[in-house]
Amino acid sequence: MKVQIGISNRHVHLTDEHLKKLFGKNYKLENVKDLNQPGQFVSNSKVMIKTLKGEINDVRVVGPTRDYTQVEISRTDAIKLGLNPPVRKSGDLIGSSPITLIGPRGIVDLEYGCIIADRHIHITPKQKEVYGLSNYDKVTVVLQGEKGGTIGNVSLKVSEESYFELHLDTDDANAHLVRNGDLAIIIEGEDL
Amino acid sequence: MKVQIGISNRHVHLTDEHLKKLFGKNYKLENVKDLNQPGQFVSNSKVMIKTLKGEINDVRVVGPTRDYTQVEISRTDAIKLGLNPPVRKSGDLIGSSPITLIGPRGIVDLEYGCIIADRHIHITPKQKEVYGLSNYDKVTVVLQGEKGGTIGNVSLKVSEESYFELHLDTDDANAHLVRNGDLAIIIEGEDL
Protein backbone atom coordinates (compact mmCIF):
# COMPACT_ATOMS: atom_id res chain seq x y z
CA MET A 1 0.00 0.00 0.00
CA LYS A 2 1.02 3.58 -0.57
CA VAL A 3 1.98 6.13 2.07
CA GLN A 4 2.67 9.84 1.75
CA ILE A 5 6.20 11.05 2.51
CA GLY A 6 6.88 13.87 4.97
CA ILE A 7 10.48 15.11 5.12
CA SER A 8 11.78 16.31 8.48
CA ASN A 9 14.47 18.94 8.31
CA ARG A 10 16.68 19.32 11.41
CA HIS A 11 14.58 20.61 14.32
CA VAL A 12 14.33 20.89 18.08
CA HIS A 13 11.68 19.95 20.65
CA LEU A 14 11.85 21.83 23.96
CA THR A 15 10.56 21.44 27.49
CA ASP A 16 8.77 24.44 29.06
CA GLU A 17 11.82 25.02 31.23
CA HIS A 18 14.27 25.06 28.31
CA LEU A 19 11.94 27.28 26.24
CA LYS A 20 12.04 29.87 29.03
CA LYS A 21 15.79 29.57 29.42
CA LEU A 22 16.41 30.08 25.69
CA PHE A 23 13.73 32.66 24.84
CA GLY A 24 12.77 34.39 28.10
CA LYS A 25 10.33 33.93 30.97
CA ASN A 26 6.96 34.59 29.36
CA TYR A 27 7.80 33.37 25.86
CA LYS A 28 5.22 31.34 23.95
CA LEU A 29 5.74 29.31 20.76
CA GLU A 30 3.61 30.67 17.94
CA ASN A 31 1.96 28.26 15.51
CA VAL A 32 2.99 29.47 12.05
CA LYS A 33 2.02 26.23 10.28
CA ASP A 34 0.22 23.07 11.33
CA LEU A 35 2.14 19.88 10.70
CA ASN A 36 0.22 16.84 9.47
CA GLN A 37 0.50 15.09 12.85
CA PRO A 38 -2.44 16.37 14.96
CA GLY A 39 -1.46 19.13 17.41
CA GLN A 40 2.12 19.50 16.13
CA PHE A 41 3.17 22.77 14.54
CA VAL A 42 6.09 24.71 13.08
CA SER A 43 7.02 27.81 15.05
CA ASN A 44 9.08 30.79 13.91
CA SER A 45 11.38 30.36 16.92
CA LYS A 46 14.93 29.31 16.08
CA VAL A 47 18.03 28.31 18.01
CA MET A 48 21.66 27.70 17.18
CA ILE A 49 22.95 24.20 17.86
CA LYS A 50 26.62 23.99 18.72
CA THR A 51 29.45 21.64 19.65
CA LEU A 52 33.17 22.26 20.12
CA LYS A 53 33.65 21.35 16.45
CA GLY A 54 30.87 23.23 14.68
CA GLU A 55 27.55 24.99 14.77
CA ILE A 56 24.33 25.23 12.77
CA ASN A 57 22.19 28.35 12.83
CA ASP A 58 18.45 28.82 12.59
CA VAL A 59 17.28 25.41 13.71
CA ARG A 60 13.53 25.53 14.05
CA VAL A 61 11.62 24.72 17.22
CA VAL A 62 8.63 22.41 16.63
CA GLY A 63 5.74 22.96 19.03
CA PRO A 64 4.07 22.40 21.38
CA THR A 65 6.59 21.97 24.21
CA ARG A 66 7.21 18.38 25.34
CA ASP A 67 8.40 16.65 28.49
CA TYR A 68 11.85 16.20 26.92
CA THR A 69 14.23 18.37 24.94
CA GLN A 70 15.44 16.71 21.75
CA VAL A 71 17.54 17.75 18.77
CA GLU A 72 16.92 15.81 15.54
CA ILE A 73 19.59 16.10 12.87
CA SER A 74 20.78 14.23 9.79
CA ARG A 75 24.13 12.46 9.44
CA THR A 76 25.17 15.30 7.11
CA ASP A 77 24.52 17.76 9.97
CA ALA A 78 26.26 15.43 12.43
CA ILE A 79 29.46 15.43 10.34
CA LYS A 80 29.42 19.25 10.37
CA LEU A 81 29.08 19.17 14.18
CA GLY A 82 31.64 16.41 14.73
CA LEU A 83 28.99 14.19 16.36
CA ASN A 84 28.03 10.56 15.92
CA PRO A 85 24.44 10.49 17.23
CA PRO A 86 22.57 7.20 17.50
CA VAL A 87 19.51 6.40 15.40
CA ARG A 88 16.63 6.60 17.87
CA LYS A 89 12.88 6.84 18.27
CA SER A 90 11.62 10.19 19.53
CA GLY A 91 12.00 10.44 23.32
CA ASP A 92 14.52 7.58 23.61
CA LEU A 93 17.40 9.82 24.60
CA ILE A 94 19.57 8.23 27.30
CA GLY A 95 23.11 7.96 25.98
CA SER A 96 22.44 10.03 22.87
CA SER A 97 24.84 12.84 21.86
CA PRO A 98 25.53 15.95 23.93
CA ILE A 99 24.84 19.31 22.31
CA THR A 100 24.43 22.99 23.23
CA LEU A 101 21.39 25.10 22.30
CA ILE A 102 21.78 28.86 22.06
CA GLY A 103 18.70 31.10 22.01
CA PRO A 104 18.29 34.88 22.08
CA ARG A 105 18.02 34.93 25.88
CA GLY A 106 20.05 31.99 27.12
CA ILE A 107 21.97 28.78 26.65
CA VAL A 108 21.09 25.14 27.38
CA ASP A 109 23.84 22.53 27.61
CA LEU A 110 22.39 19.07 27.02
CA GLU A 111 24.34 16.12 28.39
CA TYR A 112 22.36 14.04 25.90
CA GLY A 113 19.44 14.72 23.56
CA CYS A 114 20.79 14.80 20.01
CA ILE A 115 19.67 11.93 17.74
CA ILE A 116 19.21 10.89 14.15
CA ALA A 117 15.48 10.13 14.11
CA ASP A 118 14.61 6.62 12.99
CA ARG A 119 12.61 6.24 9.79
CA HIS A 120 9.01 5.82 10.90
CA ILE A 121 5.41 5.68 9.75
CA HIS A 122 2.67 7.32 11.81
CA ILE A 123 -0.28 4.94 11.83
CA THR A 124 -3.41 4.30 13.90
CA PRO A 125 -4.07 0.88 15.52
CA LYS A 126 -7.02 0.47 13.15
CA GLN A 127 -4.93 1.21 10.04
CA LYS A 128 -2.25 -1.19 11.20
CA GLU A 129 -4.86 -3.94 11.35
CA VAL A 130 -6.60 -3.04 8.11
CA TYR A 131 -3.30 -2.88 6.22
CA GLY A 132 -2.30 -6.36 7.43
CA LEU A 133 0.60 -5.10 9.51
CA SER A 134 -0.58 -6.31 12.94
CA ASN A 135 2.36 -8.65 13.38
CA TYR A 136 5.04 -6.10 12.60
CA ASP A 137 6.82 -3.24 14.37
CA LYS A 138 8.88 -2.47 11.30
CA VAL A 139 8.42 -2.52 7.54
CA THR A 140 10.41 -2.15 4.34
CA VAL A 141 9.40 0.67 2.01
CA VAL A 142 10.09 1.37 -1.67
CA LEU A 143 11.09 4.87 -2.69
CA GLN A 144 10.59 5.22 -6.42
CA GLY A 145 12.54 7.21 -8.97
CA GLU A 146 15.88 7.66 -10.65
CA LYS A 147 17.78 7.16 -7.39
CA GLY A 148 15.14 4.95 -5.83
CA GLY A 149 15.50 1.79 -3.80
CA THR A 150 14.11 0.22 -0.66
CA ILE A 151 14.65 1.41 2.89
CA GLY A 152 14.58 -0.98 5.81
CA ASN A 153 14.07 -0.53 9.55
CA VAL A 154 11.04 1.71 9.11
CA SER A 155 9.23 1.70 12.48
CA LEU A 156 5.47 1.72 12.79
CA LYS A 157 4.67 4.46 15.30
CA VAL A 158 1.18 3.59 16.45
CA SER A 159 -1.12 6.19 17.97
CA GLU A 160 -4.89 6.85 17.89
CA GLU A 161 -4.10 10.45 17.03
CA SER A 162 -1.99 10.12 13.96
CA TYR A 163 -1.97 11.06 10.29
CA PHE A 164 -0.79 8.19 8.06
CA GLU A 165 2.61 9.39 6.88
CA LEU A 166 6.21 8.19 6.39
CA HIS A 167 8.75 10.46 8.05
CA LEU A 168 12.22 10.60 6.50
CA ASP A 169 15.17 12.85 7.29
CA THR A 170 16.75 15.08 4.65
CA ASP A 171 19.57 12.60 3.96
CA ASP A 172 17.10 9.84 3.08
CA ALA A 173 15.07 12.27 0.99
CA ASN A 174 18.05 13.76 -0.84
CA ALA A 175 19.73 10.41 -1.47
CA HIS A 176 16.56 9.09 -3.11
CA LEU A 177 15.53 12.40 -4.73
CA VAL A 178 12.08 12.28 -3.12
CA ARG A 179 10.08 15.31 -2.08
CA ASN A 180 7.45 16.19 0.49
CA GLY A 181 4.12 14.69 -0.51
CA ASP A 182 5.57 12.02 -2.83
CA LEU A 183 4.18 8.52 -2.33
CA ALA A 184 6.18 5.52 -1.12
CA ILE A 185 5.11 1.86 -1.14
CA ILE A 186 5.10 -0.40 1.90
CA ILE A 187 6.18 -3.79 0.55
CA GLU A 188 6.70 -6.04 3.55
CA GLY A 189 6.72 -6.38 7.30
CA GLU A 190 10.04 -7.12 8.98
CA ASP A 191 10.14 -9.87 11.58
CA LEU A 192 10.68 -8.67 15.12
CA MET B 1 28.93 -10.83 -4.32
CA LYS B 2 30.50 -8.11 -2.25
CA VAL B 3 31.94 -4.83 -3.45
CA GLN B 4 33.87 -2.15 -1.57
CA ILE B 5 32.24 1.27 -1.20
CA GLY B 6 34.03 4.47 -2.20
CA ILE B 7 32.27 7.71 -1.27
CA SER B 8 32.68 10.68 -3.60
CA ASN B 9 32.46 14.06 -1.97
CA ARG B 10 31.63 16.99 -4.24
CA HIS B 11 34.49 17.56 -6.70
CA VAL B 12 35.48 19.07 -10.02
CA HIS B 13 37.20 17.73 -13.14
CA LEU B 14 38.88 20.33 -15.36
CA THR B 15 40.14 20.62 -18.92
CA ASP B 16 43.69 21.92 -19.42
CA GLU B 17 42.21 25.19 -20.68
CA HIS B 18 39.99 25.70 -17.63
CA LEU B 19 42.82 24.72 -15.24
CA LYS B 20 44.94 27.52 -16.73
CA LYS B 21 42.08 29.98 -16.58
CA LEU B 22 41.36 29.26 -12.91
CA PHE B 23 44.90 28.75 -11.55
CA GLY B 24 47.30 30.47 -13.96
CA LYS B 25 49.23 29.69 -17.11
CA ASN B 26 51.87 27.23 -15.94
CA TYR B 27 49.84 25.61 -13.14
CA LYS B 28 50.05 21.85 -12.66
CA LEU B 29 47.79 19.68 -10.50
CA GLU B 30 49.77 17.99 -7.75
CA ASN B 31 48.96 14.40 -6.76
CA VAL B 32 48.45 14.48 -3.00
CA LYS B 33 46.68 11.11 -2.84
CA ASP B 34 46.07 8.34 -5.35
CA LEU B 35 42.44 7.36 -5.76
CA ASN B 36 41.59 3.68 -6.16
CA GLN B 37 40.78 4.10 -9.85
CA PRO B 38 44.10 3.78 -11.71
CA GLY B 39 45.64 7.14 -12.67
CA GLN B 40 43.08 9.25 -10.80
CA PHE B 41 44.24 11.39 -7.90
CA VAL B 42 43.18 13.97 -5.33
CA SER B 43 44.90 17.34 -5.74
CA ASN B 44 45.21 20.12 -3.18
CA SER B 45 43.75 22.59 -5.69
CA LYS B 46 40.34 23.96 -4.79
CA VAL B 47 37.74 26.18 -6.42
CA MET B 48 34.56 27.91 -5.31
CA ILE B 49 31.39 26.82 -7.13
CA LYS B 50 28.73 29.48 -7.40
CA THR B 51 25.26 30.27 -8.70
CA LEU B 52 23.05 33.32 -8.28
CA LYS B 53 21.49 31.64 -5.23
CA GLY B 54 24.48 30.26 -3.34
CA GLU B 55 28.07 29.18 -3.27
CA ILE B 56 30.24 26.39 -1.88
CA ASN B 57 33.90 26.93 -1.05
CA ASP B 58 36.90 24.64 -1.24
CA VAL B 59 35.63 22.15 -3.81
CA ARG B 60 38.51 19.86 -4.66
CA VAL B 61 39.86 19.32 -8.17
CA VAL B 62 40.39 15.64 -9.04
CA GLY B 63 43.24 14.99 -11.46
CA PRO B 64 44.46 14.47 -14.06
CA THR B 65 42.82 17.00 -16.38
CA ARG B 66 40.17 15.60 -18.73
CA ASP B 67 38.68 16.54 -22.05
CA TYR B 68 35.61 17.96 -20.29
CA THR B 69 35.01 20.13 -17.23
CA GLN B 70 32.48 18.63 -14.83
CA VAL B 71 31.17 19.52 -11.38
CA GLU B 72 29.79 16.59 -9.34
CA ILE B 73 27.60 17.51 -6.37
CA SER B 74 24.98 15.91 -4.13
CA ARG B 75 21.31 16.89 -3.98
CA THR B 76 22.07 18.46 -0.58
CA ASP B 77 24.65 20.70 -2.29
CA ALA B 78 22.24 21.36 -5.15
CA ILE B 79 19.58 22.68 -2.75
CA LYS B 80 22.16 25.07 -1.26
CA LEU B 81 22.99 26.31 -4.79
CA GLY B 82 19.37 26.50 -5.98
CA LEU B 83 20.08 23.98 -8.75
CA ASN B 84 18.28 20.88 -9.95
CA PRO B 85 21.05 18.96 -11.75
CA PRO B 86 20.25 15.75 -13.61
CA VAL B 87 21.59 12.36 -12.52
CA ARG B 88 24.22 11.54 -15.15
CA LYS B 89 27.17 9.36 -16.00
CA SER B 90 30.52 11.11 -16.01
CA GLY B 91 31.04 13.02 -19.29
CA ASP B 92 27.35 13.01 -20.27
CA LEU B 93 26.93 16.74 -19.81
CA ILE B 94 24.74 18.25 -22.53
CA GLY B 95 21.76 19.94 -20.88
CA SER B 96 23.13 19.57 -17.35
CA SER B 97 23.09 22.53 -14.94
CA PRO B 98 25.02 25.78 -15.47
CA ILE B 99 27.49 26.79 -12.77
CA THR B 100 30.38 29.18 -12.20
CA LEU B 101 33.84 28.11 -11.02
CA ILE B 102 36.05 30.64 -9.25
CA GLY B 103 39.76 29.97 -8.79
CA PRO B 104 42.62 32.10 -7.44
CA ARG B 105 43.47 33.44 -10.90
CA GLY B 106 40.23 33.44 -12.85
CA ILE B 107 36.61 32.54 -13.40
CA VAL B 108 34.93 29.95 -15.64
CA ASP B 109 31.23 30.22 -16.45
CA LEU B 110 29.88 26.86 -17.53
CA GLU B 111 26.73 26.84 -19.61
CA TYR B 112 26.37 23.23 -18.51
CA GLY B 113 28.55 20.76 -16.60
CA CYS B 114 27.04 20.33 -13.14
CA ILE B 115 25.56 16.89 -12.43
CA ILE B 116 24.60 14.50 -9.67
CA ALA B 117 26.80 11.50 -10.54
CA ASP B 118 24.90 8.27 -11.04
CA ARG B 119 25.58 5.41 -8.64
CA HIS B 120 28.09 3.18 -10.40
CA ILE B 121 30.42 0.24 -10.01
CA HIS B 122 33.85 0.26 -11.67
CA ILE B 123 34.40 -3.20 -13.10
CA THR B 124 36.59 -4.88 -15.73
CA PRO B 125 35.03 -6.83 -18.66
CA LYS B 126 36.52 -10.00 -17.15
CA GLN B 127 34.98 -9.37 -13.71
CA LYS B 128 31.63 -8.63 -15.29
CA GLU B 129 31.71 -12.04 -16.94
CA VAL B 130 33.04 -13.93 -13.93
CA TYR B 131 30.43 -12.38 -11.63
CA GLY B 132 27.59 -13.40 -13.96
CA LEU B 133 26.65 -9.85 -14.86
CA SER B 134 27.29 -10.04 -18.63
CA ASN B 135 23.64 -9.37 -19.46
CA TYR B 136 23.28 -6.29 -17.31
CA ASP B 137 24.18 -2.61 -17.50
CA LYS B 138 22.70 -1.94 -14.07
CA VAL B 139 22.39 -3.78 -10.78
CA THR B 140 20.66 -3.49 -7.42
CA VAL B 141 22.90 -3.32 -4.36
CA VAL B 142 22.26 -3.89 -0.65
CA LEU B 143 23.72 -1.41 1.83
CA GLN B 144 23.69 -3.02 5.26
CA GLY B 145 23.20 -1.47 8.68
CA GLU B 146 20.80 0.38 10.90
CA LYS B 147 19.63 2.63 8.07
CA GLY B 148 20.31 0.10 5.36
CA GLY B 149 18.27 -0.84 2.33
CA THR B 150 18.75 -1.51 -1.36
CA ILE B 151 19.73 1.00 -4.00
CA GLY B 152 18.67 0.61 -7.59
CA ASN B 153 19.94 2.03 -10.88
CA VAL B 154 23.58 1.25 -10.08
CA SER B 155 25.43 1.38 -13.42
CA LEU B 156 28.22 -1.00 -14.31
CA LYS B 157 31.04 1.18 -15.62
CA VAL B 158 33.18 -1.25 -17.57
CA SER B 159 36.85 -0.56 -18.28
CA GLU B 160 40.00 -2.67 -18.56
CA GLU B 161 41.69 -0.24 -16.23
CA SER B 162 39.43 -0.25 -13.22
CA TYR B 163 39.47 -1.12 -9.55
CA PHE B 164 36.32 -3.00 -8.49
CA GLU B 165 34.45 -0.44 -6.39
CA LEU B 166 30.95 1.01 -5.83
CA HIS B 167 30.91 4.81 -6.02
CA LEU B 168 28.23 6.60 -4.01
CA ASP B 169 27.71 10.30 -3.35
CA THR B 170 27.64 11.70 0.18
CA ASP B 171 23.81 11.75 0.27
CA ASP B 172 23.61 8.02 -0.43
CA ALA B 173 26.38 7.35 2.10
CA ASN B 174 24.92 9.56 4.84
CA ALA B 175 21.34 8.32 4.34
CA HIS B 176 22.49 4.72 4.79
CA LEU B 177 25.19 5.48 7.39
CA VAL B 178 27.86 3.74 5.33
CA ARG B 179 31.54 4.71 5.26
CA ASN B 180 34.45 4.53 2.86
CA GLY B 181 35.69 0.94 2.63
CA ASP B 182 32.46 -0.67 3.89
CA LEU B 183 31.22 -3.58 1.83
CA ALA B 184 27.97 -3.67 -0.13
CA ILE B 185 26.30 -6.68 -1.73
CA ILE B 186 25.28 -6.90 -5.38
CA ILE B 187 22.01 -8.84 -5.34
CA GLU B 188 20.62 -8.72 -8.85
CA GLY B 189 21.01 -7.42 -12.35
CA GLU B 190 18.38 -5.02 -13.65
CA ASP B 191 16.94 -5.65 -17.08
CA LEU B 192 17.91 -3.13 -19.73
Per residue in B70-118, pLDDT (tens digit) is 999 999 999 999 999 999 999 999 999 999 999 999 999 999 999 999 9
For chain A, residues with pLDDT lower than 70 are: 191-192
> Bridge-partner residues for A88, per DSSP?
A117
Domain boundary among A117, A136, A169: A117
What part of B 61-80 touches A (C-beta under 8 Å)?
A: 74-76, 79
Distance CA B44, CA B57 (A): 13
**Does any domain span residue B34?**
yes
Amino acid A191: pLDDT: 65
Burial of B93 (0-12, 13-18, 19+ CB in 10 A): buried
Nearest to B76 among A116, A150, A174 (CB): A174
CB contact under 8 A, B147 and A79: no
The ipTM of this complex is: 0.93
Q: What is the band of B46 on the pLDDT scale with cuts at 50, 70, 90? A: very high
Which residues have a Cβ under 8 Å from the Cβ of A174 and sit 6 or more positions away?
B74, B75, B76, B79, B171, B175
**What is the pTM for the complete model shown?**
0.95
Angle at B92 between CA B86 and CA B95, to 5 degrees: 55
Nearest to A154 by CA among A112, A114, A185, A113: A185
Question: Does residue B190 have a pLDDT over 90?
Answer: no
A64 preceded by cis ω (within 30°)? yes
In this structure, the answer to whether residues B104 and B76 fall within a common structural domain is yes
* Interface residue of B151, B166, B167, B179 to substitute, partner A, most A CBs within 10 Å: B151
The secondary structure of A151-170 as a DSSP string is EEEEEEEE-SS---EEEEEH
Q: Is B108 helix (H, G, I), strand (E, B) or coil?
A: strand
In this structure, the answer to whether residues B13 and B103 fall within a common structural domain is yes
Domain boundary among B86, B117, B148: B117
**Are the beta carbons of A40 and A47 closer than 8 angstroms?**
no
Length of chain B: 192
In this structure, the answer to whether residues A39 and A66 fall within a common structural domain is yes
Q: What is the band of B189 on the pLDDT scale with cuts at 50, 70, 90? A: confident
Q: What is the band of B121 on the pLDDT scale with cuts at 50, 70, 90? A: very high
**Does any domain span residue B3?**
no
Domain region containing B54: 9-117
